[in-house]
Amino acid sequence: MSFIPPESDPAYQALYIHIPFCARRCNYCDFTTEAVRIDDSRIDTYLDAMLVELAAAKSRDLLGAIKTVYIGGGTPSFLGDQRLGKLVEAITEQIDGIREFTVEANPDSFTQQMARLLAGLGVNRLSIGIQSFDNHELTALGRLHDSKQAELALDAACQVFENVSVDIMCGIPLQTAATFQASLQQAVASGINHVSVYPLSLEAGTALAEAVAAGRLTVATDDEQARLLNQAASYLEAEGFIHYEIASYARPGFNSQHNSAYWTARPYLGLGRGAVGMSQQQSVRYRFDDQGILEQLDLRQQAAEDLMLGLRLLSGVPDGVVAHTQALLPTANDCLAELEGLGLIEHREGHFRLTKRGWLLGNQVFLRIWGLAE
Amino acid sequence: MSGPLSENPSLLTTHVDALFDRSVLLAPMAGVNDPVFRSICLNLGADLCYTEMISAKGLSFANIKTAELLAIGQSEDRLAVQLFGRDPAILADQAITITERLGDSLALIDINMGCPAKKITSQGEGAALMNDPVLAGRIISQVVAAVSVPVTVKLRRGWLDGLETAVEFARIAEVCGAQAVAVHGRWARQLYQGQADRTVIGRVKAVVCIPVIASGDVFSVEDALDYFDNQGADAVMVARGALGNPWLFRDIKTALLRQADNNSEAINEKLALIERITVARQHLLDLAEQFPHRLVTMRKHLAWYFKGVKGATAVRRSLYNCHNLADYLRLLDEIMAECL
């Protein structure tokens, strides 16, 4: 017996499905996933249970307002055509009118055949885990693909899909400004319309953290990370991408609708091992996973969270929202003024936004704002 | 193959298994399989297409016509190349040439030990190699040693009518390093007359661990499903069945997807229970909205809906604690939670 997701009002807008399996765990990974053989029966058992969970969610009327679906992992493409196709079919059978349907894929398990199958079944967006086009960096990360496979996978994806996103990582061991630039350029040249740029984060207990602790590898300092993030912003903006969220760049019209649900605090449902959902019930906001409720936020905490999420976005936070926040959190205005004084946020055209400096030091901004509700 | 993948052979094995996981392939057909026809088949659902059989000797003489057979189509991301010949050294050399020429577009190299045409077998090539298992083994070993892509072998049921050597031959191929065998259920001497024997696939499957690809008389969805379901084939090859009818790939793939929906009994039981809950829930909501004073009748309806279901007694007992809509909904959620 597993935890059944609570109802939500407003209804769930986005559905996340987690596939916790990979061919191999990457050196930096601390996500919920495990390396299994492709014929491991646990995969089939898991997918069977997922079909039941989907049917249950439908039966409890939780799927009626879902606009976006995202199958992430782990490595969804590792499932192979047959199993992935069956899952996608089950989802489209339960949900009408999906506007954006994204599947994550890794270059080592993605083929043009898979792209065609997914497109035929109603998937309209791919997110490819490239990370880098440099073979040394890929080896340091413990990725299963090399640069050639990354290139082939992207070509295959772009031939079939218009809406393709790639993940590019900065601060990888052995990475230089030049190799990072080359990775960005190669990604853009392939014809993608969305890029997520992430700094590598060292998570305790990962193979990479151990290698760094033992002095075998070094990772970028915060200053170096910041320089690389700036470099990405300048280059991608010059190429016509809009930096619409802290880590996300899109050509006009290709913003991720699914992620926007997270960033604008619209309720979302997560299904599968460790998948997090968010539900709104009267004045309480709940976060939960397949084991139970993780946290519940009161109105004050919600106001702080909304302010934090709003600042992540290029569109920023309108004055009206700030006024609402101020009513619940009397020190909000002082905090914003202080952040403005530090040059981390700015106020223009009736909106608060992060400055360039603020984008790089986002965590400091968010910690202060979260402190408002404590 | 370069990069991290080549350092870990077990991952390559996984890759081959995925290649032949209920996949549908376009068989090598001389004078038919050019890049254009292959692309059409790919776009209609073929998982992998083979080149027509290519003479290793022809390639080694740098014969332009032979080399042209290696051309790759615009929408082809990978292809399988079939080689024929009888000289292990020439075959191994040409296998290397092909890997260099096609790079990552090369999915595998298949060695032809099944072609029954007199022009080929009279030279001791194609199916004639089934009469010379020692030489066949040497060919396979040498090609496997020469290249890092998977090497597969295509064979027939046997050479002489009535003398089935495919089972033993497939074992030899496996031991020599072949990563899959494709078996056509006719005797070489039978050419394309009569019918292919499908059951040979099961007999080969019983003795090898590598994937077995079924070939022979796949003209319909039913033919393909019979190979998969009743003979245990890992993949099927379509040859003459695709001529003028490349849609056959789409039809087979669709049927396989649909078949994958036939879940295990346990899952079906759960889905059936969820369906009961769905209808009961709608019943409850409609009643509460239209005739709220009759809500108490849900006690008997729910008892009927869940009659015979595991835990039905507990449900009946809980019903008497239900007094309003919220109570009933909570009970339905509890039943659902038991099911998940």
**Which residue in A82, A135, A144 is closest to B21 by CB distance?**
A82
Decide if A86 and B260 are in contact by the 8 Å CB cutoff: yes
Please tell me which residue of chain B has the smallest CA distance to A159. Answer: B75
- Distance CA(B221)–CA(B239), nearest Å, equals 13
- DSSP line for B307-333: TTSTTHHHHHHHHTT--SHHHHHHHHH
- Decide if B257 touches A, using CB distance below 8 A: yes
Tell me what pLDDT residue B260 has.
Answer: 61
**pTM of the full predicted structure?**
0.70
User: Both tokens of residue B304?
Assistant: 């009927």
Beta pairing class for A100-105 and A68-73: parallel
Query: Is residue B115 flagged as an active site residue?
Result: yes
A116 in Cβ contact with A154 (< 8 Å): no
B3 in Cβ contact with A148 (< 8 Å): yes
Q: CA geometry: angle at B108 spanning B106 and B112, to 5°?
A: 125
- Decide if B329 touches A, using CB distance below 8 A: no
> Chain A residues with CB inside 8 Å of B8's CB?
24
- Decide if B74 touches A, using CB distance below 8 A: no
B20 in Cβ contact with B211 (< 8 Å): yes
ipTM rounded to 2 decimals? 0.75
- Taking 90 as the threshold, does the pLDDT of residue A297 lie above it? yes
- Taking 70 as the threshold, does the pLDDT of residue A144 lie above it? yes
Residue with tokens 């190669």: A186
Beta pairing class for A34-35 and A21-22: parallel
- Decide if B286 touches A, using CB distance below 8 A: no
- Decide if B271 touches A, using CB distance below 8 A: yes
The nearest CA of chain B is from the CA of A353 a distance in Å of 43
The number of angstroms, rounded, from the C-alpha of B313 to the middle of its chain's C-alpha atoms is: 46
> Chain A residues with CB inside 8 Å of B42's CB?
112-113, 116
Please tell me which residue of chain A has the smallest CA distance to B42. Answer: A113
Which element (helix H / strand E) includes A89? helix A80-94
- Decide if B4 touches A, using CB distance below 8 A: yes
C-alpha separations of A133 from A109, A129, A198 in Å: 16, 11, 15
- Distance CA(A257)–CA(A70), nearest Å, equals 10
- Find which of A82, A121, A271, A290 to mutate to test the B interface (most B CBs within 10 Å of its CB): A82
- DSSP line for B180-195: EEEEEEEEGGGTT-S-
Which element (helix H / strand E) includes B61? none
- Taking 90 as the threshold, does the pLDDT of residue A176 lie above it? yes
- Distance CA(A270)–CA(A98), nearest Å, equals 16
Q: Burial of A236 by CB count in 10 Å (0-12 exposed, 13-18 middle, 19+ buried)?
A: buried
Please tell me which residue of chain A has the smallest CA distance to B15. Answer: A109
| List of residues 6+ apart from B278 with CB closer than 8 A | A58, A59
Catalytic pick from B41, B49, B115, B322?
Answer: B115
The nearest CA of chain B is from the CA of A132 a distance in Å of 13
- The neighbour count for residue A221, using CB atoms within 10 Å, is 10
pLDDT in tens, chain B (340 residues): 333 333 433 333 445 777 888 899 999 999 999 999 999 998 888 999 999 999 998 888 877 777 788 888 877 888 999 999 999 999 999 999 999 989 888 999 999 999 999 999 999 999 999 999 999 999 999 999 999 999 999 999 999 998 999 999 999 999 999 999 999 999 998 888 889 999 999 999 999 989 999 999 999 999 999 999 999 999 999 999 999 999 999 899 888 877 765 556 777 788 889 999 999 999 999 999 999 999 999 999 999 999 888 778 888 888 888 999 999 999 998 888 887 7
DSSP code of B179?
S
- Distance CA(A119)–CA(A160), nearest Å, equals 7
Amino acid type, A61: D
DSSP code of A60?
T
> Chain B residues with CB inside 8 Å of A90's CB?
261
- Distance CA(A202)–CA(A210), nearest Å, equals 9
Please write down the long-range contacts of A361-368, taking CB distance under 8 Å and 24 or more positions apart.
A362/A246, A362/A311, A362/A312, A365/A308, A365/A311, A365/A339, A366/A308, A366/A311, A368/A335, A368/A338, A368/A339
Decide if B104 and A55 are in contact by the 8 Å CB cutoff: no
User: Both tokens of residue B89?
Assistant: 């050294």
Q: 3-state class of B25 per DSSP? A: strand
Mean pLDDT score, A286-309: 93
The nearest CA of chain B is from the CA of A57 a distance in Å of 10
Decide if A1 and B340 are in contact by the 8 Å CB cutoff: yes
